[in-house]
């Protein structure tokens, strides 16, 4: 039994997100297939009348169910997985569910946010209660109509049955009455063994629209009277706008106006989501994208330096000085690490580096804004609509209730669209020009704007006694704007003497979250280092790790270890068995915990024309119950390929503060023929409530790749990107 809130108002809140919220929302189905047959289901017949059950659920007279989608969809497939959870507990036929995207609505929905791989984890119980409560009301309505006890009734595929009298009523016949009934104090949730939708593969519900080019994304948006806008920001970090001569640009046919905007004016207090290295910009507004692109070239803009011009060599040197000489924050200390290192038989010390990385979403940054005296309408691809509205409200001096934000599906996010500067800019341009505008970034605009994955440097030391036992472990890390170190993650808790230290380096390059923040670097460094320590100890790398987990399971050190050692060890044992790992294996291995999930991988690499190439990856994932296996496999495979590509090739470098890679002619992404030829993904079936999945498969693959490169070349790699001329050895 699951307790419910007693009032209808609280039910609306509950179904949106209780206790921490629905991090990625009820993005629901637009069309479905009949999964029991090989043929597509008939076109869904939309009802003539709807009954609204609550703020996000309505049922038609023919039993079709519409669920509002409050939260952003960034390609992580919650638009399929989350409605599966509701449909399961509602006991409705999957093919009779449709979706409508809701606007930002903090009165009826909570945490309309996309980030952190937490959508299913946070939404699991509220979504189930949503469906179960609606089902309870429908059964209660049927009991009244049939004049029987509710306990004599059962539901299946949107129909309430009374087997004793061989009568039945569809949900559509019951919705009007159900909507008037009092909410139950508690509802019964299904036993997972009775799931019929959850755990069964479903196709992406937007797939047909995506492949047939139907409007879904922000770039698809068209409005009558809309103008297009393009921005010009400083060419280098540490520079700001001084003056602009726009006479020639304004003279071009189709140019509406040229304006200067400031997204961080004096007195404005930026939120965490307002990261922006270049808040003062020049914007060109015109009839079409080509016009504004040409007008932008005609501008004569003068810039002035406001802080030192930094190069990549300067960035790296600053990190090294800080790591060597800086006074660190001690994030965790167990035992006497200094004493253990002083008496060690062997000390292994290595330093690892990763550069700044852009996000490079397939869909460029874009946003529509129509600002009027009495209100504003904003539409576009944003992961943080509520925070965008707060910033816009402050900048416009307009009440939040007068600002309407509608989310579109996003062609990638990876954390970039957590930071809504492009939405703020569109708003300010519309306000200044007094016309509805659509701001579109070029690829160069986005790649040179910043909000990069920070540059990181971390140093590890390990102490071994004469028997090859790990006696002390020390990690000291720094980065641009943040340290990558997680002090309470493995191997914390496995060794008596442990020290974790953080240092933060200042930079005028703006940074932000990038898929699996911090973990995307530290996991690879940690797992590569552990392999080297295992080698120094004369032990198989998997066996070495499992010995550490044995300690954490039987007699852990400290009480703040943020992982479950048994689940961690299990995925490692499983990947050993699933991959057929043997002593002396020439593949790389890694295991990591992040976003509440556990992932272990074994990766086989080869050298092709002197460059590393991944042949095959075995991956074991413990993310609890898998709602939609098809979407889950896609998420894992996408994370693995993304991690491999950026570890091999990704880097933004600087000269005089100017990014040297500004488009895909100079920024290297992984290519189709460089992806693994096979990825074998296995999910642990343990019945535990779901945890994160969008990000956890990326971090460990960096370490597995580094270890595999060593196995086939005999060379350790410490700096990303890994791809460089190499000779195959052995």
361-383 tens-digit pLDDT:
999 999 999 999 999 999 999 99
Determine, yes or no, domain membership for 510.
yes
The DSSP symbol for 511 reads: B
Determine, yes or no, domain membership for 447.
no
Residues 485 and 375 in one domain: no
Confidence of residue 16 (pLDDT cuts 50, 70, 90): very low
Residues 610 and 640 in one domain: yes
Name the domain count of the chain: 3
Model confidence, pTM? 0.92
Higher-confidence residue: 78 or 488?
488
* Residues sharing a CB contact under 8 Å with residue 448, sequence separation 6 or more, in sequence order: 233, 235, 658, 659, 662
Residues 539 and 657 in one domain: yes
The pLDDT of residue 78 is 84
Q: What's the rounded mean pLDDT across residues 77-96?
A: 89
Confidence of residue 510 (pLDDT cuts 50, 70, 90): very high
Task: State the Cα–Cα distance between residues 278 and 241, nearest whole angstrom.
Answer: 9
The pLDDT of residue 5 is 44
CA angle 481, 487, 488 (to 5 degrees): 140
Q: Find the helix packing angle between 519-537 and 629-649, rounded to 10°.
A: 80
Determine, yes or no, domain membership for 234.
yes
The pLDDT of residue 655 is 97
Residue 536 has pLDDT above 60, yes or no: yes
Residue 188 has pLDDT above 90, yes or no: yes
| Bridge partners, 602 (sequence order) | 589, 618
Residue 230 has pLDDT above 70, yes or no: yes
Strand duo 65-69 + 97-101: pairing: parallel
Residues 149 and 199 in one domain: yes
- How far lies 396's CA from each of 76, 105, 265, 374, 402, in Å? 33, 19, 11, 11, 11
Residue 730 has pLDDT above 90, yes or no: no
What is the domain extent for residue 578? 328-357+452-713
Q: Which of 180, 211, 242 is the last residue of a domain?
A: 211
Residues 24 and 74 in one domain: yes
Determine, yes or no, domain membership for 554.
yes
Q: What percent of the chain has pLDDT over 90?
A: 81
Determine, yes or no, domain membership for 571.
yes
Residues 303 and 435 in one domain: yes
Residues 57 and 112 in one domain: yes
Residues 579 and 618 in one domain: yes
CATH number of the domain where residue 335 is located: 3.30.365.10
Determine, yes or no, domain membership for 689.
yes
Helical ranges in 372-481 per DSSP H:
385-396, 421-433, 443-447
The pLDDT of residue 47 is 79
583: closest CA among 528, 526, 630, 543? Answer: 543
Q: Which of 161, 192, 211 is the last residue of a domain?
A: 211
Confidence of residue 29 (pLDDT cuts 50, 70, 90): very low
Confidence of residue 43 (pLDDT cuts 50, 70, 90): low
Residues 516 and 400 in one domain: no
Task: Please state whether the peptide bond connecting residue 261 to the residue before it is cis, i.e. omega within 30 degrees of 0.
Answer: no
Q: Which of 440, 461, 493 is the last residue of a domain?
A: 440
**What are φ and ψ of residue 21, in 5° steps?**
85, 170
Higher-confidence residue: 703 or 115?
703
Q: What's the rounded mean pLDDT across residues 171-200?
A: 94
Q: What's the rounded mean pLDDT across residues 47-68?
A: 79
Residues 254 and 379 in one domain: yes
Residues 202 and 230 in one domain: no
Strand duo 239-245 + 658-659: pairing: unpaired
Determine, yes or no, domain membership for 721.
no
Residues 399 and 482 in one domain: no
Quick check: 204 and 631 in contact, CB under 8 A?
yes
Q: pLDDT (tens digit, 9 = 90+) per residue, 624-648?
A: 999 999 999 999 999 999 999 999 9
The DSSP symbol for 152 reads: G
Cα Rg for the chain, rounded, in angstroms? 28
Average pLDDT, the chain: 91
Determine, yes or no, domain membership for 97.
yes
């Amino acid at each position: 039994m699951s307790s419910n809130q007693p009032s209808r108002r609280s039910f609306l809140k509950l179904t949106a997100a209780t206790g921490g919220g629905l991090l990625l929302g009820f993005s629901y189905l637009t069309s479905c297939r009949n999964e029991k047959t090989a043929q597509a289901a008939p076109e869904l017949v939309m009802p003539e009348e709807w009954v609204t059950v609550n703020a996000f659920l309505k049922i038609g007279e023919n039993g079709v169910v519409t669920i509002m989608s409050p939260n952003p969809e960034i390609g992580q497939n919650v638009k399929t997985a989350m409605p599966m959870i509701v449909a399961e507990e509602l006991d409705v036929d999957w093919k009779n569910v449709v979706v409508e995207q809701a606007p930002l609505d903090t009165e009826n929905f909570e945490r309309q946010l996309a980030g952190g791989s937490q959508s299913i984890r946070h939404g699991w119980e509220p979504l189930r209660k949503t469906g179960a409560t609606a089902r309870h009301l429908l059964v209660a309505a049927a009991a009244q109509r049939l004049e029987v006890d509710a306990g004599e009734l059962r539901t299946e595929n949107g129909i309430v049955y009374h087997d004793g009298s061989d009568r039945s009523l569809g949900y559509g016949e019951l919705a009007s009455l159900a909507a008037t009934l009092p909410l139950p104090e508690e509802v019964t949730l299904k036993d997972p063994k009775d799931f019929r939708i959850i755990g069964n593969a479903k196709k992406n519900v937007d797939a047909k629209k995506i492949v047939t080019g139907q409007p879904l994304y922000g770039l698809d948006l068209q409005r009558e009277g809309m103008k297009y806008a393009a921005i010009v920001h400083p060419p280098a970090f540490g520079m700001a706008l001084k003056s602009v001569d726009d006479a020639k640009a304004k003279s071009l046919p189709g140019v509406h106006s040229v304006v200067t905007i400031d997204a961080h004016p004096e007195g404005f207090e930026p939120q965490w989501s307002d990261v922006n290295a270049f808040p003062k910009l020049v914007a060109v507004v015109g009839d079409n994208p080509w016009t504004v692109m040409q007008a932008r070239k005609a501008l004569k803009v003068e810039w002035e330096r406001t802080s030192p011009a930094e190069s990549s060599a300067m960035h790296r040197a600053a990190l090294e000085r800080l790591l060597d000489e800086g006074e660190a924050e001690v994030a965790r200390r167990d035992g006497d690490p200094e004493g253990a290192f002083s008496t060690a038989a062997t000390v292994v010390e290595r330093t690892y580096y990763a550069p700044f990385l852009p996000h490079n979403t397939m869909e460029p940054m874009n946003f529509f804004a129509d600002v009027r005296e009495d209100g504003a309408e904003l539409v576009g691809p944003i992961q943080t609509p509520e925070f965008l509205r707060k910033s816009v409200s402050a900048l416009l001096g307009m009440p939040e209730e007068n600002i309407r934000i509608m989310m579109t599906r996003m062609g990638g996010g990876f954390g970039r669209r957590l930071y809504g500067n492009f939405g703020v800019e569109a708003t300010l341009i519309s306000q200044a020009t007094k016309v509805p505008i659509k701001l579109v970034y070029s690829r160069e605009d986005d790649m040179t704007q910043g909000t990069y994955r920070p540059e990181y440097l971390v140093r590890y030391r390990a102490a071994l006694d004469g028997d090859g036992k790990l006696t002390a472990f020390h990690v000291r890390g720094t980065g641009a704007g943040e340290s990558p170190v997680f002090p309470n993650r493995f191997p914390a808790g496995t060794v008596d003497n442990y020290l974790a230290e953080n240092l933060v380096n200042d930079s005028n390059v703006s940074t932000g979250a990038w898929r699996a923040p911090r973990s995307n670097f530290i996991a690879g460094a940690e797992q590569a280092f552990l392999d080297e320590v295992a080698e120094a100890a004369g032990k198989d790398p998997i066996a070495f790790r499992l010995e550490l987990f044995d300690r954490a399971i039987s007699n852990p050190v400290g009480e703040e270890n943020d992982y479950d050692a048994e689940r961690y060890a299990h995925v490692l044992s499983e990947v050993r068995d699933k991959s057929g790992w043997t002593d002396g294996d020439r593949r790389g291995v890694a295991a990591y915990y992040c976003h509440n999930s556990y992932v272990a991988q074994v990766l086989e690499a080869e050298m092709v024309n002197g460059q590393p190439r991944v042949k095959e990856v075995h991956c074991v994932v413990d993310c609890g119950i898998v709602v939609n296996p098809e979407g889950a496999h896609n998420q894992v495979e996408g994370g693995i390929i993304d991690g491999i590509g950026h570890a091999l090739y990704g880097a933004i470098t600087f000269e005089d503060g100017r990014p040297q890679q500004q488009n895909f002619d100079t920024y290297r992404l992984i290519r189709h023929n460089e992806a693994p030829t096979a990825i074998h993904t296995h999910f642990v079936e343990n019945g535990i409530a779901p945890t994160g999945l969008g990000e956890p498969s990326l971090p460990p693959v960096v370490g597995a790749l580094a270890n595999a490169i060593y196995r086939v070349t005999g060379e350790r790699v410490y700096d990303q990107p890994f791809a460089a001329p190499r000779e195959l050895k052995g």
